[in-house]
Each structure stands twice: as C-alpha cells, then as structure tokens.
Structure 1
Amino acid sequence: MTVEVRLLELFLRVAELGSINKAAASVHLSQPALSRHIALLEHQMGNKLFIRTPGGVDLTEAGKMLSDRARPLLRQLTLLREQVGEKASGQLAIGTPPAWQQVVTSPFVEKLAERHPGITLRVYEGVSNILREYMSARLLDIAIVPYDSSPTASYRKTPLVREPMVLVGRREDALHPEKPVALSRLDGLRLVLPGRPNVARIQIEHALERKGMQFRLAVETDTLSLCLDLARRGVGYAVVPASSVFEHGLGDAISWGPIKGQFVTWALCENLDRTHSQAVREGRALLINAVSDALELKVWARAERPKAKA
C-alpha cells in the first residue's frame, strides 16, 4: 500500500482544525476536493478516520491512531530532506520556558528570521516536564529545561545559565530587586505556583519542608502571566524565575525580590539525531548568543553562567 505524504498532511490539517471547511480554506482547496482526498486516504487505510459532528468532524479511534503515528513519520521525512540538502534551510523545532519569552526567546526568533529566512521555525513554549517528553520523543531539536544530572540516551544537555528564583507580590509589599528575601518570609505565605512536577514548585516546597516551615498553596496554575497577575491582585505571592519579571508589562503594580539561596540552572538540550543539521547548528548558535547578549547587557536580574564544578 502506498500513501502519499500530501494525503497525510491534509488529514493532519483537518484533525488539527476539526473542520473540513476550515482546513480546505487554510490549504487553498475547495471543500469537495479536500473531502475527496480524505475519502481516498480512508480507502487506503481501510477504515473511517473522521465522524461528522454538528460543529465539524472528530477523529475516530482509527483516526486518532493515524494522527499519533503520522506526525513523527512526517517529522522523520523532513529530517531526511534536510540531510540531503546543504543550506541552512528546513525546519527547526525548539522548546523554551515561558519565563524566557521576553529576555531570550523573542530576540532569538527575531534574529533567526532576519539571518536565516530559509529556516521554518516552530517554537513550543511550555513547562519543563512536557518539553523533556518532547525531547525524548525526538519532536524537538533543541530545548531549554532545568538542568538535572540524570543520564539521557536521546539528547545531550549542557548547563547554560543560572538565575535566582524571585518572590513576586503587590506594590504595597515593597519587595526590591536589590534586597534578597529570606526563605523564612515564605513560611505560611499564600503562594501561587505551577503544579507538580514543575521544578520551581518542587524546589520551594522541599526547601520549606527541610527548614520545618509551612508550605501553603493558594492557587496552582502553569500559566506564567496568570501567576504574576494573581500576585498583582493580592491573591497570593508568586514564585518564578527572575527572567519572568523582565518586561513583565505590569508596571509598578507588582514588586519582587530574589529569594536567598534559591536558584534554577537552565540546560541546553540537543537532539542527538539532529546535531548534523545546518538549521539546528545555526539555531543553536543564535540561541546561545541570545543568552550571552542578555547576560552582557545586564537586563537579566542576577543571572550568571553556571559555576564549573571543581
């Protein structure tokens, strides 16, 4: 059985949008033409892939299986195309923490688009445990996640930068970037934190428990902007990496200060199957440069290169 790549791409587009009409418009096909393509793919698969609903279409069990397995296959095909090519073109998929958006990610994307317009970039911004899963599944070429020393077979990791964790509260709390906050101030404080297994959440929870202090959770959310806004509203105090408060957009409505002894070290993770790619090499170099620029310009509060182990 031969299945055309184009049919799989169209199938995934319909699955993503949940509508044949919307998918047809997005790929510049008529609705009847796209329906014929889907019908052909269903014939080749020997099973129905979609069921019609009042709002569009849903995947059948067979459709869900095909969707899960087709994406990595198409990713591998893209990789093969790049292996044959010699230019810095093709796809680059990176994963970054939400906290890095303003201080590193956006400047990096801007420079990559300017210098290498032939590279199609896809940015996954998400929590560290999800980015690790994507790296293990080889869905990402590069990712930034908190460093840990456990061995991994599918990707290489290198400590890149260390930054403090900061306590964020209302303006009235008068926290200050130049006045570190003792861990004891968090004892019994209502905190706004991401859910487990987020590194910041686990780190603060364990630090308080080791000192015999009370860990008190007010709100659990993985959305960085919501953490900061809830701190602004006085719902609780947010604990976030220092990069989170760079150009946060809340003006003087919040105040923040670094927490003594609490840091996160970020690692650069690289997909070992993709290190040969020119697009990945160019992307890696620009990402490292974006971090260096932020450190040299002193815009990243108290961030530093990780200290080498003796």
Structure 2
Amino acid sequence: MEVRQIELFMRTCEHGSINKAAAELRMSQPSLSRWLALLERDLGAQLFVRTRQGIQLTDAGKVLADHAPQMLRHFDLLREQIGNKSQRQINVAFPFSMQHLLTAPFAEMVIRDRPEISMRVFEGINHTIRVWMENGMLDSALIVEMESVPEHFSTTPILSEGLMLVGNSETELSLETPVEIADIHELPIILPGPPSSISSHVASAVKRQGYRFNHAFEADSLSLCIDLAQRGMGYTVMPYCALSSRLDRDPDLHAAPIRGLNIVWKLCVNSSRPFSTSNNSLINAMTDLMRQRMKDGEWKFAKLL
C-alpha cells in the first residue's frame, strides 16, 4: 500500500465521484480507477460501490476514511523530519461566521502578498473544526473558547465579540440600542442544535438569570438562521462577524447587541507539528488584519485580547 493510494482515495471521497476526482486531479478516470483497485487489493476489502449518484463507501471504506487523514498527516511529518523540508503547506481553519470580515480578506492578502507560502483554508462549524484538529489536519485554527480542543493544540484567547439579537424590520432592533439578556425571555429563537457551542452558550446565559430559553427551531447553518429571522419566523443570535455583510445590504434585517453576552474566540496552534516560520508569520498577519478591521470600524462589537 502506497501513500499515493490513500491520498487518491481521500480525494475521491471528498468529491463523491471517481469522474469528478479524476478531473480535479487531472488524471484519466481509468487511471484513477486502477489506483483505487490496487488499494482495495492491498487491503483485501472493497472500499466503495458505484451508484448513479457517484460512489458509496462500504463499511471498510468508512473505516479507512476515518483514519486516513491522520495517517496522511503522520506521513507529512515524516517527510518533513526526514527530508528537513523548509516549505510545506499550512492548513488553517476558520468558522463560517468569519468569512466576510476575516477569512476572505486574509486569503486574498496571502495570495497577493505572500505567494511563497502554500496555504489551504478550511471553513466549518466549531465542532467540525475540532474534529479536523483531532484528525491532525490543521496547523492552526480559530474556534470559540467553549469548544474543547485536543491536548496537542496550544490555545490563546485572541478576540472577544459581542453577540447580537437578530430579527426583521418589524422588531425595530438597532445596533445603537443594546438589549438585555432578559429581553430574550421566551422569544422564539432560531439556532443550530447540538453540538453548537454558541447555542449552548446563549441558552445557559438566559437560564442562569432565571429566564426560559425558547429554542423554537433548529437550523444548522448560519445563513438559514439569518434568513428565517429576516422572514419574521423568529429571532436568532449571532456574533457581529456573521451578520456584517447582510446588515450592509439588507434593510429588512435588524440587529442589536445583547448587553453582557459575549463569546471569546481562541487561536489554536498544533504543537505536535515542527515549528514553521510560515505558520508563525501567517498567525501574525492574521492578527494584524483583525486589528486593522476593528480600527477601521468594519468589525464592530469586538476587541483583541
């Protein structure tokens, strides 16, 4: 079994189709199929079955897919340590909520100003980012402080951000007029369900003050929570970074800061990885960009720690 076989298997899993994976890898479909067939022969098990919709993993395939990311990262470590590589790809993860204010401008800056650095950006919910950490896929990540992380990641609180109550224009919510946690009492709240850290944080804050938290509807994407609130189906609670682009262009969407209800974002760095000057410089550049966004007034209700 070769590392290349595992890499090709994972790419095929990501695309859910041999044809799509082959196109992305710039390989012929028969060539990729041969590589995968060799892997199945070496393992002595069928890894997937073809369907009209693409591929479907067998039980053996699911086991390999679960373990392969960590295996590949271990191989990367060996390549670096044995080959003494000075350059490698840096894998960084951001929460979906930061795409507009941080992730996209940060990626743009790296592409434009640091072409010598190879960087891959991952986006996900906090729970998914933690799973990527556990699988050894990431060099660094931003994640909410309430989310636990693997022991081999060092963590530093980096940013405190206020949470906002979000509704449609009829709610008359305003960025200039904070609301109290008590105001959330029995409002129909739309938020992701478990294992959402922010949902748990909001619910706990409301209940600690002796009020009832009405989690009226579970929607597992930020955009759907915001859309439903804008349609008058209830309210949602979000950090400002998740709302900034929508508030700028949607007059029917209103928000107000919730007094005393904040989240802390922490920077997580994989300490099991060899020290990388590239990763360190990217972290410094990201922090500088966050500071500049706040100074320019684009990232409201937030402060660096």
- Using structure 1 for the length normalisation, give the TM-score: 0.89
Distance in 2 of aligned mates of 1:151 and 1:78: 21
- Is the alpha carbon distance of 1:287 and 1:44 closer, same or farther for their aligned partners in structure 2, counting shifts above 3 Å? same
AA of the residue aligned to 1:292: R
Distance in 2 of aligned mates of 1:31 and 1:150: 41
Distance in 1 of aligned mates of 2:22 and 2:200: 45
Deviations 1:14-62 (A, max 9, x none): 3333333333333223232222222222222222223233434322222
AA of the residue aligned to 1:23: A
- Which position in structure 2 is the counterpart of 1:206? 204
TM-superposed CA distance for 1:82, in Å, is 4.3
- Which position in structure 2 is the counterpart of 1:239? 237
TM-superposed CA distance for 1:251, in Å, is 2.0
- Is the alpha carbon distance of 1:243 and 1:136 closer, same or farther for their aligned partners in structure 2, counting shifts above 3 Å? same
**Equivalent residue for 1:133, pick from 128, 131, 134:** 131
- Do the aligned partners of 1:127 and 1:222 also contact (CA within 8 Å) in 2? no
Distance in 2 of aligned mates of 1:223 and 1:151: 22
Deviations 1:142-190 (A, max 9, x none): 1111225979621111111111111111122221112111222111111
**Equivalent residue for 1:220, pick from 218, 241, 250:** 218
- Which position in structure 2 is the counterpart of 1:304? 303
Cα RMSD over matched residues? Answer: 2.2
- Is the alpha carbon distance of 1:67 and 1:132 closer, same or farther for their aligned partners in structure 2, counting shifts above 3 Å? closer
Distance in 1 of aligned mates of 2:202 and 2:147: 19
**Equivalent residue for 1:146, pick from 144, 151, 156:** 144
AA of the residue aligned to 1:202: S
- Do the aligned partners of 2:69 and 2:135 also contact (CA within 8 Å) in 1? no
TM-superposed CA distance for 1:268, in Å, is 0.6
* Structure 2: runs of 5+ lacking an equivalent: none
- Which position in structure 2 is the counterpart of 1:37? 35
- Do the aligned partners of 1:274 and 1:280 also contact (CA within 8 Å) in 2? no
| More off after superposition, 147-156 vs 104-113 | 147-156
Distance in 2 of aligned mates of 1:105 and 1:203: 24
AA of the residue aligned to 1:238: T
- Do the aligned partners of 1:129 and 1:198 also contact (CA within 8 Å) in 2? yes
Query: The residue matched to 2:245 in structure 1 has which SS?
Result: coil
- Which position in structure 2 is the counterpart of 1:27? 25
- Is the alpha carbon distance of 1:76 and 1:225 closer, same or farther for their aligned partners in structure 2, counting shifts above 3 Å? same
Q: What is the aligned residue count?
A: 302
TM-superposed CA distance for 1:270, in Å, is 0.7
- Which position in structure 2 is the counterpart of 1:97? 95
TM-superposed CA distance for 1:214, in Å, is 2.0
| More off after superposition, 190-199 vs 105-114 | 190-199
Distance in 2 of aligned mates of 1:246 and 1:271: 30
- Do the aligned partners of 1:192 and 1:217 also contact (CA within 8 Å) in 2? yes
Alignment of 1:132-211 (within 5 A): 132-148=130-146, 153-211=151-209
Query: The residue matched to 2:275 in structure 1 has which SS?
Result: coil
- Do the aligned partners of 2:69 and 2:136 also contact (CA within 8 Å) in 1? no
- Is the alpha carbon distance of 1:219 and 1:5 closer, same or farther for their aligned partners in structure 2, counting shifts above 3 Å? same
Distance in 2 of aligned mates of 1:193 and 1:218: 8
- Is the alpha carbon distance of 1:63 and 1:253 closer, same or farther for their aligned partners in structure 2, counting shifts above 3 Å? same
Distance in 2 of aligned mates of 1:300 and 1:65: 42
- Do the aligned partners of 2:130 and 2:148 also contact (CA within 8 Å) in 1? no
- Which position in structure 1 is the counterpart of 2:85? 85
Distance in 1 of aligned mates of 2:147 and 2:215: 28
- Using structure 2 for the length normalisation, give the TM-score: 0.90
Distance in 2 of aligned mates of 1:105 and 1:149: 20
Distance in 2 of aligned mates of 1:146 and 1:32: 44
* Structure 1: runs of 5+ lacking an equivalent: none
- Which position in structure 2 is the counterpart of 1:70? 68
- Which position in structure 1 is the counterpart of 2:259? 260
Deviation above 6 Å: which 4+ runs of structure 1?
none
